[in-house]
Amino acid sequence: MRPLFAWIVGALIVAALLLAAPLRGAQTTPNAGQIPRTPAGRPDFSGIWHAHSSANWDLLTHDARPMVAQRGVYADVPVLAAPVVALGSAGWIPAGVGVVEGNEIPYQPWAAARQKENQANWLDRDPELKCFLPGIPRAMYLPYNFEIVQGTTKIMMAFEFRNADRTIHLDEVAQYPGDAFMGHSVGRWEGVTLVVEVSRFTPYTWFDRSGNFHSDALRVTERYTPISRDAIQYEARIEDPKVFTRPWTIRLPLYRRLEPNARLIPFRCMEMVEETYLGHLRKDTLVKHWEGKTMVIDVTRQVPSSETELYELHISGNPPEAQ
């Protein structure tokens, strides 16, 4: 009877542990005491944040693909094109799960064609590659850190990319006199959620590196909801009647950087893109073949003699150490 008794006791202990443990993947409500608060009792989002996502490559679910592609040996298998062929595996974008609700961007027919054209001409057209200010919502999921400094009537966001910044006004302010890359942001609190209405955009920003774009009629409604002490659920509702058939929504988490020395290290890209953006104007161009503002790059690779010798040793079965 002793073995049976021991088995029953063991089974009861295992069952108790399983019942006590939260289900994997289950949604849990954060403990309100874990969320930092301001003196006024609002969630305090101050800190260094980062989006761990492939959304900046493509908002939609996507397979790995060349960042710049050309047709390969097989029509349905693209390969790296000349401008990036030397990058090898680093020239491929990572696969990723989409962040758009329903995994569909509802373009009008003309705009869907423009998006495909943009994607095919990414190197020439993406404003990020020209170091333009990234706009909203793209600034929130670029692969760079950003900092939130929260006050009573203003919330400041500073971004590593291009030293971009934005101010969210929690009080009444006059509209900007003109359109802006980062828009004009007015916020309010709905319980623990910060809701921000962003308007007055220029048409010169994209949503990602896949050519997804908008017009100057863009309106963005952001929602920042604390998930825990170190995570925010970020949501952006996109409206642009000139480009889309209906509003659509982006949703992804933002994570606090937990390193004790976390800080912004600015990515000052203005001087980095001088050759890319203005190189065609040089009297003696570094890139010799331009078609308008487009670089045309031919790649010819000569294998160094030392590399050839190593290859011959490898296929002969005599490693260098044996020579």
SS3 for 220-248 is EEEEEEEEECCEEEEEEEEECCCCECCCE
pLDDT at 318 over 90: no
Can you tell me the distance from the alpha carbon of 168 to that of 180, in angstroms, rounded to the nearest whole number?
A: 14
pLDDT digits (tens, 9 = 90+) for 140-198: 999 999 999 999 999 999 999 999 999 999 999 988 777 899 999 999 999 999 999 99
- Which residue, 70, 67, 74, is CA-closest to 299? 70
| Residue corresponding to tokens 């020395």 | 261
- pTM equals 0.81
The band of 18, judged by pLDDT with boundaries at 50, 70 and 90, is very low
List the single range of 24-38, 57-71, 288-302 with lowest mean pLDDT. 24-38
Domain-embedded: residue 300: yes
Is there a single domain that holds both residue 106 and residue 127?
A: yes
Same domain (yes/no): 313, 217 = no
Do 117 and 195 sit in the same domain of this protein? yes
Range(s) of the domain holding residue 262: 47-61+96-268
pLDDT of residue 306: 57
- Tell me, yes or no, whether 34 lies in a domain: no
- Tell me, yes or no, whether 189 and 257 share the same domain: yes
In a domain? residue 37: no
- Same domain (yes/no): 57, 131: yes
| Least-confidence region, from 84-88, 105-109, 145-149, 242-246 | 84-88
User: Residue 207 is encoded by which pair of tokens?
Assistant: 């949503």
296 and 258 in a single domain? The answer is no
E strand or H helix at 157: strand 154-159
Helix, strand and coil content of the chain, in percent to the nearest 5, comes to 25, 30, 45
- Same domain for 112 and 242, yes or no, is yes
Q: Which of 236, 251, 268 is the last residue of a domain?
A: 268
Is the model's pLDDT at 308 over the cut of 90? no
Identify whether 29 is part of a domain. no
278 band by pLDDT with thresholds 50, 70 and 90: confident
305 pLDDT above the threshold of 80: no
Instruction: Provide the number of structural domains found in the chain.
Output: 2
State the average pLDDT over residues 49-73: 94
DSSP 71-135: E-SSTTSEEE-GGGGGGGGGGEEPPB---BGGG---B-HHHHHHHHHHHHTHHHH-GGGGT----
Q: Which residues contact 212 (CB under 8 A, 6 or more apart)?
A: 58, 59, 105, 115, 118, 206
**Residue 228 and residue 318 in one domain:** no
Distance CA 58, CA 211 (A): 9
Q: How far apart are CA 80 and CA 32, in angstroms?
A: 49
Q: Report phi then psi at 59, rounded to 5.
A: -65, -25
pLDDT average, residue stretch 241-262: 97
Same domain, 246 and 286: no
Is position 189 within any domain? Answer: yes
Examine the domain organization and report whether 118 and 219 are in the same domain: yes
